[in-house]
Structure 1
Amino acid sequence: MRVEIWSDIGCPFCYIGKQNFEAGVKEFAGKDDLEVVYKSFRLDPTAEKEPEGSMAELLAKKYDKSVKEAEIMNSQVADAAKAVGLEFNMDKVVPSNSMDAHRLVKLAEAEGKESEAMNHLYKAYFTDGINVADTESLVRIGTDMGLDADKIREMLASDQYKEHVITDQNEANQLGAQGVPFFVIDRKYGVSGAQPPQAFKEALTKASEE
């Protein structure tokens, strides 16, 4: 059974959703026969590589809120993350462009390390306050997983995987995704959002019984 997961590195609920999905998979009887595929989705393709504003300032502008209101929103998201065992430091987040981070995941996928890459990038973004659009930061993240530094630099200096990232997003739009995270099971069932582990287990069980 194949599960495709569309997500963005800069999406807090994608990180929470991945955590919950994996917890649900642990309780799923057919977990050993699952193939999980990670697909790219950029919530803001126009984001800067070196953003000047904070995450709170960005959200305030996007949702027409005050910065204080945006900080409260971020605090609530951090609490939701903490409830599933994740540490979010929203005041440290650098809300940069995620294209190159997605390309790093594609490079990692060639070595069967895409899930690990997602975890490393999420932690860098939400916990450590690292700019995941910065080349040297991506090289460090990649080499921490055992990827070759020269290969990472070569990839980032080229257009490699850019079309893959764009194609993934177009595919999500064709499937009717309204946002991410978006989980598709065998192209039969769609699960949207950071659902609790039990919801993922039930969706997987239902799909496996058909």
Structure 2
Amino acid sequence: MKIEIWSDFVCPFCYIGKRHLEEALQKFPERDQVEVMFKSFELDPHSPVETDMSIQEILSKKYGTSVDQAKNMTDSMTKQAATVGLDFRFDSSIPTNTFDAHRLTKYAKTKGKEAELTELLLQAHFTLSKHIGDKETLVGLAEQAGLDAEESLAVLNGQEFTRDVRTDEEEARQIGVQGVPFFVINRKYAISGAQPSDVVLSSIQKVWEEENQPASLQPLGTDGMACDENGCDVPPSKS
């Protein structure tokens, strides 16, 4: 079974959704038969690498709200992340462009280190407040993932793997990806948003049982937490 995930490293629900998938796979008896592949998706391809704005200021400008209201949004996402053991620190996170991070991950894939680098990039941005648009930071993360530093820097200083990233993004448009995370299982079913782990598990089990039956791509969930180019939807908190 193949699970493809379109996501971005600055999408909070992509990290949450990744944890939900991992929780689901832990309960899936045939998990050793599952291959997880990460696909590139940039929430904002025009985002600058360097900015003096905080994430709350960026959200405030995007949604036309006050900075305090934007902070309430990030506080809500922080609480949701905590339910799956993630420590989000929006107050110190560094907004940036993720194109080079995606290219580096494509290089990591050729070395069998895609999963390791993906986790390190998400952790670096959301928990460690590292600048994942900075080449020196990216090389350091690549080394942590077990990649060669000089080769990683060469990738970042050139244009290698640009086509791989663009191909993923074009494919996302072709299959109608509106927001991320977006999971495609065996090219038969799609899960949109950071659905709860039990929903993900049910979907995986359904595909496993039907894998030898032809089926068109059809949604198994469309109302989960997700991010798109306009931002991240935050459901109202429960009292």
TM (norm. structure 1) is 0.98
Please give the residue correspondences for 1:25-104 in structure 2 after superposition, counting only pairs within 5 Å: 25-104=25-104
SS in 2 for 1:36: strand
1:4 aligns with 2:4: yes
Residue identity opposite 2:118 in structure 1 = M
**Residue of structure 1 in register with 2:205 after alignment:** 205
- What is the root-mean-square deviation in Å for CA atoms of aligned residues? 0.7
Deviation at 1:104? 1.5
Deviation at 1:76? 0.5
Structure 1: runs of 5+ lacking an equivalent: none
> In 1, are the aligned partners of 2:20 and 2:195 still within 8 Å (CA)?
yes
1:124 aligns with 2:112: no
1:36-68 deviation per Cα after TM superposition (whole angstroms, max 9, x unaligned): 111000000001011120000011111111110
Deviation at 1:140? 0.6
1:71-105 deviation per Cα after TM superposition (whole angstroms, max 9, x unaligned): 01000001111110000000111110000111111
SS in 2 for 1:166: helix
TM (norm. structure 2) is 0.86
Deviation at 1:122? 0.5
SS in 1 for 2:183: strand
Q: Which is richer in helix?
A: 1
Deviation at 1:192? 0.6
> In 1, are the aligned partners of 2:8 and 2:180 still within 8 Å (CA)?
yes
- Looking at structure 1, the residues matched to 92 and 166 of structure 2 have their Cα atoms a distance apart, in angstroms, of 28
> In 1, are the aligned partners of 2:135 and 2:156 still within 8 Å (CA)?
yes
> Where has structure 1 moved over 3 Å in runs of 4 or more?
none
- Looking at structure 2, the residues matched to 22 and 111 of structure 1 have their Cα atoms a distance apart, in angstroms, of 22
**Residue of structure 1 in register with 2:236 after alignment:** none
- Looking at structure 2, the residues matched to 20 and 128 of structure 1 have their Cα atoms a distance apart, in angstroms, of 21
Ranked by relative contact order (alpha carbons within 8 Å, sequence separation 6 or more), the top structure is 1
- Looking at structure 1, the residues matched to 179 and 136 of structure 2 have their Cα atoms a distance apart, in angstroms, of 30
Please give the residue correspondences for 1:15-34 in structure 2 after superposition, counting only pairs within 5 Å: 15-34=15-34
- Looking at structure 2, the residues matched to 166 and 54 of structure 1 have their Cα atoms a distance apart, in angstroms, of 28
SS in 2 for 1:183: strand
Deviation at 1:178? 0.9
Residue identity opposite 2:160 in structure 1 = Q
Deviation at 1:28? 1.1
- Looking at structure 1, the residues matched to 197 and 52 of structure 2 have their Cα atoms a distance apart, in angstroms, of 36
Residue identity opposite 1:33 in structure 2 = Q
- Looking at structure 2, the residues matched to 146 and 22 of structure 1 have their Cα atoms a distance apart, in angstroms, of 22
**Residue of structure 1 in register with 2:189 after alignment:** 189
Identity of aligned residues (%): 45
SS in 2 for 1:209: helix
Deviation at 1:110? 1.1
**Residue of structure 2 in register with 1:168 after alignment:** 168
Which range moves more in the overlay, 149-158 or 104-113? 104-113
SS in 2 for 1:3: strand
